């Protein structure tokens, strides 16, 4: 019988790797907590029209990549391909603006896109999203970018480049798209197939083409900054000024657009210069019309998303995980000792100690070797002789010291044991 394997484009996150995920998550949580951002959790699947209306019917995500299906009630359902649309739906449905006009939100979860699996991108992947809803101020754009850069800096990631651009408002883009279409029509036969299809439906998306020959054609194309309104240009200038105040270096990339139709004005990406493959680790921008477009009140917003798989790939080279030794390893032999060991294990758990109970019932020498392998600070030894004497042996592993503690006094001596545990732990770190 053929063995069952994980579906192509999905990947197990094993305990040894999950330690990095948890380390990075804790770093992110502290940074966003300091900025007073609140976590929000939205469903993994939504009605498909949320993404049709929110992301845009002409985008690759909707046309090619969504996991879309009919459920048992014949409803059109999609596994979420990105997080912003779901956050917007939750904002509108729960009338979150009635509590506070300004919402600072973040999320972390699995997303799904039917793409060709490659390094740093699976069909099930994970994103951290940061959303600042309720402000049209250029400081909001800069704050979101600052938080993303702070996360990367706190993980000691180097060789990153922030690319920013302004794609203007809808009126600016309509003027620009007309100019861009006129220019590209002359090169229609030389464009790649996807760009030919986009020329009539959404020509600005051609700027995001990965085709080298198409990019060469675009070198002579009109640029969107020439079509910006005074308001959009002023907003972009303010964003750049605030980034300078925050000492965040940036590069203006006049071809930069995002793959989602809801963006306006500020668009940005953070790329790693170390990668030969998927080099974008963060992307975002302003989406002032999306909430109104989805049926909510007119509400400006800005946000970004960080691909956690790509972030973890980079962070593994810079993160030194702290040692997490077991506080107490319990070695027992004999039925009565096993029962006492279980009672002590429960008590130590209640005292927030990390404990591992040996279940192999091997010789004490082998169990103590296992305690060493687990880097246990202390090994609690309970055998038939200890039961008869009413004691347990505490063996402090690093100094190879041991002491007897009466079983009846074990709970009373926990304060002493915890103090010695801390002392031995600091001694272990020095060593």
Mean pLDDT of 143-172: 94
Whether 384 has a binding-site annotation, put simply, is no
Tell me if 185 is assigned to some domain: no
Residue 260 pLDDT: 65
Whether 83 has a binding-site annotation, put simply, is yes
Q: Is the pLDDT of residue 274 over 70?
A: yes
Instruction: In whole angstroms, give the CA distance from residue 83 to residue 287.
Output: 13
Mean pLDDT of 13-23: 92
Tell me if 188 is assigned to some domain: no
Tell me if 412 is assigned to some domain: yes
Do 397 and 418 sit in the same domain of this protein? yes
Residue 428 pLDDT: 58
pLDDT band at 226 (very low <50, low <70, confident <90, very high): confident
Do 299 and 388 sit in the same domain of this protein? no
pLDDT band at 430 (very low <50, low <70, confident <90, very high): very low
Do 36 and 151 sit in the same domain of this protein? yes
Q: Is the pLDDT of residue 23 over 70?
A: yes
Do 237 and 384 sit in the same domain of this protein? no
Whether 176 has a binding-site annotation, put simply, is no
Mean pLDDT of 287-316: 93
Tell me if 161 is assigned to some domain: yes
Whether 318 has a binding-site annotation, put simply, is no
Most confident of 136-140, 213-217, 411-415: 136-140
CATH number, domain with residue 154: 3.30.930.10
Q: Is the pLDDT of residue 137 over 80?
A: yes
Whether 131 has a binding-site annotation, put simply, is yes
Which is nearest to 305 in space by CA: 157, 22, 153, 83? 83
Tell me if 145 is assigned to some domain: yes
Instruction: In whole angstroms, give the CA distance from residue 163 to residue 255.
Output: 10
Whether 324 has a binding-site annotation, put simply, is no
Q: Is the dihedral of CA 129, 130, 136, 140 positive or negative?
A: negative
Residue 161 pLDDT: 94
Expressed as residue numbers, the domain containing 59 is 15-169+229-315
Answer whether 384's CB lies under 8 Å from 334's CB: yes
Q: Is the pLDDT of residue 275 over 70?
A: no
CA distances from 317 to 22, 150, 190, 305 (A): 16, 18, 42, 22
Do 276 and 395 sit in the same domain of this protein? no
Q: Is the pLDDT of residue 74 over 50?
A: yes
Tell me if 213 is assigned to some domain: no
Residue 156 pLDDT: 92
3-state secondary structure of 381: strand
Do 293 and 347 sit in the same domain of this protein? no
Mean pLDDT of the chain: 90
Q: Is the pLDDT of residue 57 over 90?
A: no
Mean pLDDT of 173-183: 87
pLDDT band at 241 (very low <50, low <70, confident <90, very high): very high
Whether 84 has a binding-site annotation, put simply, is yes
Mean pLDDT of 20-31: 94
- Where among 292, 315, 338 does a domain terminate? 315
Residue 277 pLDDT: 54
Kindly report which listed range (58-67, 154-163, 282-291) carries the lowest average pLDDT score. 58-67
pLDDT band at 259 (very low <50, low <70, confident <90, very high): low
pLDDT band at 278 (very low <50, low <70, confident <90, very high): low
Whether 82 has a binding-site annotation, put simply, is yes
Do 161 and 293 sit in the same domain of this protein? yes
pLDDT in tens, 165-175: 999 998 888 88
Q: To the nearest 10°, report the CA torsion of 357, 22, 37, 292.
A: -120
- Both structure tokens of 212: 């080298």
Tell me if 7 is assigned to some domain: no
pLDDT in tens, 389-424: 999 999 999 888 899 999 999 999 999 889 998 888
Residue 79 pLDDT: 96
Answer whether 403's CB lies under 8 Å from 356's CB: no
Do 369 and 269 sit in the same domain of this protein? no
Question: CB under 8 Å to 302, separation ≥6 — which residues?
Answer: 131, 132, 135, 140, 141, 144, 266, 284, 285, 286, 287
Q: Is the dihedral of CA 144, 146, 148, 150 positive or negative?
A: negative
The residue ranking higher by pLDDT, 325 or 348, is 348
The residue ranking higher by pLDDT, 21 or 120, is 21
Q: Is the pLDDT of residue 192 over 90?
A: no
Do 275 and 366 sit in the same domain of this protein? no
- Where among 315, 340, 360 does a domain terminate? 315
Do 341 and 297 sit in the same domain of this protein? no
Mean pLDDT of 249-261: 82
Do 303 and 348 sit in the same domain of this protein? no
Q: What's the CA angle centered on 168, arms 242 and 228, to 5 degrees?
A: 95
Do 415 and 390 sit in the same domain of this protein? yes
Residue 356 pLDDT: 96
Measured from the Cβ of residue 206, the count of other Cβ atoms closer than 10 Å reads 27
Tell me if 351 is assigned to some domain: yes
For the chain, the domain total comes to: 2
CATH number, domain with residue 352: 3.40.50.800
Q: Is the pLDDT of residue 73 over 50?
A: yes
Whether 114 has a binding-site annotation, put simply, is no
- Where among 315, 340, 365 does a domain terminate? 315
């Amino acid at each position: 019988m053929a063995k069952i394997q994980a579906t192509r484009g999905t990947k197990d996150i094993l305990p040894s790797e999950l330690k990095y995920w948890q380390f990075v998550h804790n770093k992110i949580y502290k940074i966003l907590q300091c900025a007073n951002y609140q976590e929000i959790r939205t469903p993994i699947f939504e009605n498909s029209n949320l993404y049709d209306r929110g992301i845009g019917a002409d985008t690759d995500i909707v046309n090619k990549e969504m996991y879309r299906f009919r459920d048992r009630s014949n409803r059109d359902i999609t596994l979420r391909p990105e997080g912003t649309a779901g956050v917007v739906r939750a904002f509108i449905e729960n009338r979150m603006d009635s509590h506070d006009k300004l919402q600072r939100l973040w999320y972390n979860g699995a997303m799904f896109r039917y793409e060709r699996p490659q390094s740093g991108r699976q069909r099930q992947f994970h994103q951290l999203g940061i959303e600042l809803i309720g402000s049209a101020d250029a400081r909001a754009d800069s704050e979101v970018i600052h938080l993303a850069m702070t996360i990367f800096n706190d993980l000691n990631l180097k060789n990153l480049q922030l690319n920013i651009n302004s794609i203007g408002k809808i009126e600016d883009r309509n003027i620009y798209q007309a100019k861009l279409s006129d220019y590209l029509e002359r090169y229609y036969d030389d464009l790649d197939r996807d760009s030919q299809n986009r020329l009539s439906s959404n020509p600005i998306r051609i700027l995001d083409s990965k085709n080298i020959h198409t990019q060469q054609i675009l070198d002579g194309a009109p640029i969107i900054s020439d079509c910006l309104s005074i308001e959009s240009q002023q907003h972009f200038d303010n964003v750049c000024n605030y980034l300078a105040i925050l000492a965040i270096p940036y590069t203006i990339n006049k071809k930069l657009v995002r793959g989602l139709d809801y963006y306006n004005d500020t668009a940005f990406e953070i790329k790693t210069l170390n990668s030969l493959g998927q080099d974008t680790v963060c992307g975002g921008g302003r989406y002032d019309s999306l909430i109104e477009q989805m049926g909510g009140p007119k509400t400006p917003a800005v946000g970004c998303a960080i691909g956690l798989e790509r972030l973890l790939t980079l962070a593994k080279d810079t993160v030194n995980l702290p040692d997490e030794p077991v506080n107490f390893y319990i070695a027992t032999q004999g039925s009565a000792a096993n029962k006492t060991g279980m009672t002590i294990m429960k008590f130590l758990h209640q005292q927030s100690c990390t404990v591992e109970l040996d279940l192999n019932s091997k010789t004490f020498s082998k169990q103590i070797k296992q305690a060493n392998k687990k880097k246990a600070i202390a090994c609690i030894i309970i055998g038939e002789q200890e039961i008869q004497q009413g004691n347990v042996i505490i063996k402090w592993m690093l100094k190879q010291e041991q002491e007897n503690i009466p079983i009846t006094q074990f709970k009373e001596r926990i304060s002493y044991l915890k103090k010695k545990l801390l002392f031995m732990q600091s001694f272990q770190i020095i060593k």
